[in-house]
Each structure stands twice: as structure tokens, then as C-alpha cells.
Structure 1
Amino acid sequence: MKILLIDDHPLFREGVALLLKPLVEGLETWEAGSCEEGFALLGQRGDADLVLIDLNLPGLSGLDGLKHLRQEHPAVPVVVMSSADDKDTVMAALDAGAMGFIPKSSTSQVMLGALRLILSNGIYLPPSVFLAARAAPAVSAPPALAAPAPPSGRRPGELGLTPRQADVLHLLLQGKPAKLIGRQLNLSLSTVKAHTSAVLRALNVTTRTQAVLAASRLGLRFDEPAQEVPAGLSEASIASSSR
């Protein structure tokens, strides 16, 4: 697995790189001090498996960089790591295509847990995004909100989703467009749209951003990344052969 870290503080990048090392065997980390450097690395080395990006960067801002990544590298999931974790900032990052958000103010234990959750196909968002906007500042967040969702989070099947709908949801949460989802799963655009409508209904939401919030709140966990369906093999035949 290859992870690109985009942050203008070398010490922070080095610390995160060390934190990531034991999470996945054979992990390779690339470091960049700006969006422009990160884009250059992707151009030289090919797509990474995950990008962790700060929002406050020299040159092109992290938010604009995130939008660029979604357009130019739609297959690469992006997670924001920022010192600002107010609801507006988190929502802006999600609207731009981020699949998760980790505040830099998090303890090393919470950050490590969030990264583990993300690398195991989960979604992590800061507790602040779920708290009422007018909550009294003197009241601390409950312990359950201070750490990532537990490893035993719910599975998409518990929401009534089929395995293929779960695959579409997994890729949708990563910010991948319908055409790319269709290519990865060998599905027609109309089928992808039908599955997308079904998963949004199951989550009782209408947009991808709302779906990310709902998935995080539910602690949704996915199995291995979606695998491509061989050309000419229908979903029905796969379902019957797996019984």
C-alpha cells in the first residue's frame, strides 16, 4: 500500500509516517510539502492508494488541492488532516470529495485509531460534526464520541443492501464518480445510478456528503475493496454461484 502525505510541516509528516508504519505490512509513504509537490509525485509514481492532505498549505490551498485530486485522480481516496475541525470546515472538505476527516488536535491514540479505521475500509469523522451547533462549550463530548467507531461496526448488509450495492456505496463514499465506479465494477452507468439511488434510500439521505456522515455515524465497515466483475458475467450468475 502507498500513502501520500501532503503537509507543509516536515516533523508532522515524519510523525504520521511513523504512526502509519505498523498499520499495514509493506506500507510505503510519500511526503510532499505542498499540493503542487504532491501532484508531481503522483505524476511521477502513479496513483497512491490513499492521500492524507492538510487544508492550510502554501500555494494552492488544501481544499482546492482536494478538488483537483478528485478531478485528476478520481480513483484515489482522500482524507483530510487539519488543525481546524469546525463543522463548516469538515462539511466543506466532504463536499469537495474527502472520504474522512481527522483533526490534528486528536491524541495519538485517536489518530491511530482513525487511521486504522480508514485503512480497514471504514469512515472516520470528528465528533464535533455530530454535536449540536449550540452545545455548551463547557460540556465535554461523551467518551464514546472521543474515539473512532468500534471495529465491530455495522455491515452494509444489515441495512438491506446487496453485496454489489455495498460495493457501489464503498466507492461512492471514496468520492469516486459514477463512470469510474461503473468501470471498476464492470457495470453500466444506469445500473450504477440505480444502485446509488438504492444505497442513498437505505441511508435515508440524498447526497454523497450526507451518506459519508451517515456511514460514519453508523460505524459502517466494508469487506475487501470492491472487485471487478468479469466481463460477460452477470450479477445474478455471480450471486447464484456463491450460494
Structure 2
Amino acid sequence: MRILLIDDHPLFREGVALLLKPLVEGLETWEAGSCEAAFELLAQRGSADLVLIDLGLPGLSGLEGLQRLRLEHPEVPVVVMSSSDDKDTVMAVLDAGAMGFIPKSSTSQVMLGALRLILAKGIYLPPSVFLAARASPAVAAAPAQGRSAAVASPAAGRRPADLGLTPRQADVLHLLLQGKPAKLIGRQLNLSLSTVKAHTSAVLRALNVTTRTQAVLAAGRMGLHFEEPAAGQGASDDCMASSSR
């Protein structure tokens, strides 16, 4: 697995790289101090498996970089790590296509747990993003004075099957949460565009939402996490989708 860290503070990048190291065997981390340097790295080395990006960057801002990443590298999931974690900021990055948000004000324990959850195909969002005054099952409540918050382990969350979703619908949902467009989802899962749209409608209904951003929030609130995508089921899924219409 290759993870690209985009942050203008070398010490922070090095610290996050050390946190990531034991999470996945054979992990390779790339570091960039700006969006411009990050895009040069991607051009030289090819696509990364995950991008962690700060918002307060010199030159091209983190939000602008996120938007460009979603446009030029729609296959790469992006998670924002920022010191600005108010609800408006988090909603803005989710609307721009990020699949998660980790506040820099988090303790190392929370950050490590959040990264572990993300690498285990879960969704991490700070409690501040939720409209309700209760914490998400995916994250801990805001810590009381003198106490650190903890992140639930991936096993503590829910799976798409708990919502009545089929394995292929779960695959579509996971790629949708990453901000991938329908055409790319279809190509990656070997599904027709009409089947992707049918599955997308089904997963949004299951989450009781109407947009991708709302789906990310719902998935974070539930602590939803995913298995590896099933292979070789595209044709049968197309038949099922067409027979259900």
C-alpha cells in the first residue's frame, strides 16, 4: 500500500508516517510539502492508494488540491487532516469529495485509531460534524477535561449486510464514499452504468439519504466498515439489476 502525505510541516509528516508504519505490512509513504509537489510525485510514481492532505498549504490550498485530486485522480480516496475542524470546514471537504476527516487536535491515540479505521475500510469523522449532540458510534465523544478520546476498533462498527445490502451493493457504496464517479465504479467492479446507478439508488435508500455527502455522514455515524470487493460478479449483478426493474 502506498500513502501520500501532503503537509507543509516536515515534523508532522514524519510523525504521521511513523504512526502509519505498523498499521499495514509493506506500507510505503510518500511525502510532499505542497499540492504542487504532490502532483509532481503522482506524475513520477503513479497513483497512490490513499492521500492524506492538510488544508492550510502554501500555493494551491488543500481544498483546491482536493478538488484537483478528485478531478485528475478520481480512483484515489482522500482523507483530510486539518487543525480547522469546525462543521462548516468538514462539510466543505466532504462536499469536495473527501471520504474522511481527522482533526490535527486529536491525540496520537485518536489519530492512530482513526487511521487504523480508515485503512480497515472504515469511515472516520469528528463528532463536531454531526448535527445531533451525541457522538457517532464510529468515533468517541469529545473528551472531557484531562481525558483523551478513543476510537472504536473496526470490529465494533456495522457492516453493509446489517443494512440489508448485498456484497456488490456494499462495494458500490464503499467506492461512492470515496468520491468515485459512476463510470469509474462501473469500470472497477465490471458493472454497466445502469447497474451502478441501480445499486447507488439502493444504497442511498438503505442509508435513508439522497446525496454522497449525506452517505459519508451516515456511514461515519454508524461506524460502517467494508470487506474487500468481491471479484467476478459483474455479469450476474447486471442480470439481477435488470430483472429487478
TM (norm. structure 1) is 0.89
2:165 is aligned to 161
1:56-135 to 2 correspondences below 5 Å: 56-130=56-130, 132=132
1:147 is aligned, of 150, 156, 159, to: 150
User: Which stretches in structure 2 are left out of the alignment for 5+ residues?
Assistant: 134-140, 241-245
Distance 1:228 1:92 in 2: 34
Distance 2:238 2:67 in 1: 36
Letter aligned with residue 196 of structure 1: T
Residues 149, 216 of structure 1: 8 Å contact kept: no
The Cα shift of 1:130 comes to 1.7
The answer to whether structure 1 residue 196 and structure 2 residue 200 are counterparts is yes
The answer to whether structure 1 residue 229 and structure 2 residue 229 are counterparts is no
Distance 2:142 2:52 in 1: 25
The answer to whether structure 1 residue 209 and structure 2 residue 209 are counterparts is no
Residues 56, 62 of structure 2: 8 Å contact kept: yes
Three-state SS of the structure 1 residue aligned to 2:59 is coil
2:137 is aligned to none
The Cα shift of 1:147 comes to 3.3
- Superposed CA deviations along residues 20-68 of structure 1, whole A, max 9, x for unmatched, are 0000011000000000000010010000000000000000000010000
Residues 79, 102 of structure 1: 8 Å contact kept: yes
The answer to whether structure 1 residue 30 and structure 2 residue 30 are counterparts is yes
The Cα shift of 1:228 comes to 4.3
2:21 is aligned to 21
Residues 54, 81 of structure 2: 8 Å contact kept: yes
Distance 2:101 2:68 in 1: 17
CA pair 107-67 structure 1, distance change in 2 beyond 3 A = same
Distance 2:89 2:150 in 1: 20
Three-state SS of the structure 2 residue aligned to 1:123 is coil
Three-state SS of the structure 1 residue aligned to 2:4 is strand
2:179 is aligned, of 175, 181, 186, to: 175
Distance 1:234 1:131 in 2: 40
Residues 79, 99 of structure 1: 8 Å contact kept: yes
RMSD value over aligned CA atoms?
Answer: 2.0
User: Which stretches in structure 1 are left out of the alignment for 5+ residues?
Assistant: 134-139, 239-243
CA pair 158-220 structure 1, distance change in 2 beyond 3 A = same
Which 4+ stretches in 1 moved above 6 angstroms?
none
Letter aligned with residue 9 of structure 1: H
